C-alpha cells in the first residue's frame, strides 16, 4: 500500500535525513516509525504526501508512483494528523471536521452528516461538541477532532506525526485505546511517527526502529522487544524491556490458575465445610452457567442460608486477551493478590503475580524461538 524503494533525502545543506530507505506498509497495517530526535522520521512521513520531495528513489501508494500524482489530489487521499492539530480557530468543531469532504465537493449536508458520524467514532458527542470552537475543548478533545478530520473523506491511508504527543500520559493512553478500537473498525493503512517506544509497542502491527536516516529493525513489537536486531536497537528499546513487554503480552486461558469455587445456590454451610477440608480461605462464586458473581471468604460463610447471600462484588477482574499490564494495574489498584479473568461474563480462572511472571517469561522465550507462547513448555524456559 505504501512502498519505499531506495529513497534518499538530502537537504540542500548536505544533511542526509534519509538514506536509501526501502520498506513497505501493507494494506490495513499500522506501522510506527520510532527513533531519537533528528533521525529522519518526519522527513520519511512527509515524503508520502509530497510535503517533502525525495532526492532519489521511488515511493508508491497503492501501486502508483506518487511522483506522477498531483500533490493536492494525493493529499486528499491521505489523511494527515499532526501534533499541533491545526484546527481552524473560528470554525466550529463540526465544520473543522467536515473540511476535507467540503473541499472535495461533497454537498454541505452530506459533509456535515459525515463529520457528525466521525466525531461520534472518536468519542465526541456531535450534538454537544460539534457547535463548539476549538478553544472550547481540552487538548485531548482537540486531538480527537484532528483524527476525526483526517478520517472524514475516508482516505485509505493515514499519516500521523506524534498524534498523541501534546497531551498528558493518562489522556494519551485513553486516546491510544480509542484509536486502537477505531482502527479495528476502519482498518486504515497507517504510518505513525513517535519517539516513544512504549507507544509504538502498544499501537503497531510492525515497528521500524530508526537509526540515523535508516531502519535498524523492522519487525513486530514482540520481536523488537524480544530479539533486538542490533546493539543500537537493544539500547533504544531500553533496559525496562520486561515492563514494555507487559503491554504487548495478552492474557491467555493457559496462563490462569483455578482457585476454589463455590456455587451461588450452594448452602453456605456446605461451601464452608468444603473450603475447610481443602484448606482454602476463600472461593470465587459462580452460577450454574459458570458466570462470575463475586467472591466469598470462609469467615463470611455462616451456618445458614446460601452462598449467594454472602457474596462480595469482584472488583479486580480483566477480560481474557487484555494485556498483562492491565491485569498488573488492576492488581495494584485494588491491592489484590490476584485478578479474575473473564470471557464475557464467564469465569476462566485467576491470574496471580507468579502466573503473570511465568506468562512474561514464556512470551520472551516464544519470541526467541519464533513460536506461539502456548508451545513453550514452562519447564524448558531458562531462568530469567
Residue 211 touching ligand ATP (CB under 6 A): no
41 interacts with ligand ATP by CB under 6 A = yes
Residue pointed to by grid coordinates 458466570: 291
Residue 43 near ligand ATP by CB under 6 A: yes
Nearer to ligand ATP, 38 or 259 (CB): 38
Q: Which is nearer to ligand ATP, 193 or 314 (CB)?
A: 193
Rounded to 5 degrees, φ, ψ at 257 are -105, 150
Total residues contacting ligand ATP (rule CB under 6 A)?
A: 13
Site string for ligand ATP, 1-40 (x = CB under 6 A): ----------x-x-x-x-----------------x-xxxx
Q: Does 42 engage in binding with ligand ATP (CB under 6 A)?
A: yes
Is residue 50 part of the contact set for ligand ATP (CB under 6 A)?
no
β-strand pairing of 16-25 with 2-10: antiparallel
The residue (of 33 and 296) whose beta carbon lies closer to ligand ATP is: 33
Tell which residue, 30, 40, 349, has the closest CA to residue 192.
Answer: 30
By C-beta, is 12 or 89 nearer to ligand ATP?
12
Q: Which residues contact 295 (CB under 8 A, 6 or more apart)?
A: 282, 283, 284, 285, 311, 312, 314
Residue 357 Cα distances to 189, 261, 370, angstroms: 34, 24, 20
* Residue among 50, 112, 195, 293 that touches ligand ATP (CB under 6 A): 195
Contact set for ligand ATP, span 245-284 (CB under 6 A):
none
| Strands across the sheet containing 215-219 | 78-82, 157-161, 189-194, 30-34, 206-210, 215-219
Q: E strands, the chain, where?
A: 2-10, 16-25, 30-34, 56-61, 64-65, 78-82, 157-161, 189-194, 206-210, 215-219, 261-263, 282-286, 292-297, 317-319, 339-343, 346-351
Min dist. Cβ of residue 47 to ligand ATP (A): 10
Nearest approach, Cβ of 232 to ligand ATP (angstroms)? 15
The nearer residue to ligand ATP, 41 or 293, going by C-beta atoms, is: 41
Cβ 11 to ligand ATP shortest distance, Å: 3
List interacting residues with ligand ATP (CB under 6 A).
11, 13, 15, 17, 35, 37-43, 195
Amino acid at each position: 500500500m505504501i512502498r519505499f524503494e531506495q529513497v534518499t533525502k538530502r537537504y540542500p545543506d548536505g544533511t542526509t535525513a534519509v538514506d536509501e530507505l526501502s520498506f513497505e506498509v501493507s494494506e490495513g497495517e499500522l506501522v510506527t516509525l520510532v527513533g531519537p530526535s533528528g533521525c529522519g522520521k518526519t522527513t520519511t512521513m512527509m515524503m508520502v504526501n509530497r510535503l517533502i520531495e525525495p532526492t532519489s528513489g521511488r515511493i508508491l501508494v497503492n501501486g502508483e508512483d506518487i511522483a506522477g500524482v498531483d500533490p493536492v489530489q494525493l493529499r486528499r487521499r491521505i489523511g494527515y494528523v499532526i501534533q499541533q492539530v491545526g484546527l481552524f480557530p473560528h470554525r466550529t468543531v463540526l465544520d473543522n471536521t467536515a473540511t476535507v469532504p467540503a473541499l472535495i465537493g461533497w454537498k454541505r449536508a452530506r459533509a456535515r452528516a459525515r463529520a457528525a458520524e466521525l466525531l461520534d467514532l472518536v468519542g465526541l458527542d456531535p450534538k454537544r461538541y460539534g457547535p463548539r470552537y476549538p478553544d472550547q475543548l481540552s487538548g485531548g478533545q482537540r486531538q480527537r477532532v484532528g483524527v476525526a478530520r483526517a478520517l472524514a473523506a475516508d482516505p485509505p491511508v493515514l499519516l500521523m506525526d506524534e498524534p498523541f504527543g501534546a497531551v498528558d500520559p493518562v489522556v494519551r493512553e485513553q486516546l491510544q485505546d480509542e484509536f486502537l478500537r477505531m482502527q479495528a473498525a476502519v482498518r486504515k493503512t497507517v504510518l505513525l511517527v513517535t519517539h516513544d517506544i512504549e507507544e509504538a509497542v502498544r499501537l503497531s502491527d510492525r515497528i521500524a526502529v530508526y537509526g540515523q536516516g535508516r531502519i535498524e529493525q523492522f519487525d513486530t513489537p514482540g520481536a523488537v522487544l524480544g530479539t533486538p536486531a542490533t546493539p543500537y536497537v537493544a539500547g533504544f528499546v531500553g533496559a525496562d524491556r520486561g515492563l514494555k513487554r507487559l503491554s504487548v503480552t495478552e492474557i491467555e486461558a493457559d496462563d490462569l490458575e483455578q482457585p476454589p469455587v463455590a456455587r451461588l445456590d450452594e448452602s453456605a454451610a456446605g461451601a464452608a465445610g468444603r473450603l475447610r477440608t481443602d484448606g482454602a480461605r476463600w472461593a470465587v462464586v459462580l452460577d450454574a452457567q459458570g458466570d462470575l458473581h463475586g467472591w466469598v471468604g470462609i469467615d463470611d460463610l455462616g451456618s445458614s442460608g446460601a452462598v449467594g447471600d454472602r457474596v462480595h462484588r469482584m472488583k479486580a477482574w480483566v477480560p481474557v486477551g487484555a494485556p498483562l499490564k492491565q491485569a498488573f494495574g488492576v492488581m495494584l489498584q485494588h491491592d489484590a493478590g490476584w485478578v479474575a479473568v473473564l470471557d464475557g461474563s464467564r469465569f476462566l480462572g485467576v491470574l496471580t503475580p507468579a502466573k503473570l511472571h511465568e506468562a512474561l517469561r514464556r512470551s520472551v522465550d516464544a519470541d526467541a524461538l519464533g513460536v506461539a507462547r502456548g508451545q513453550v513448555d514452562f519447564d524448558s524456559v531458562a531462568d530469567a
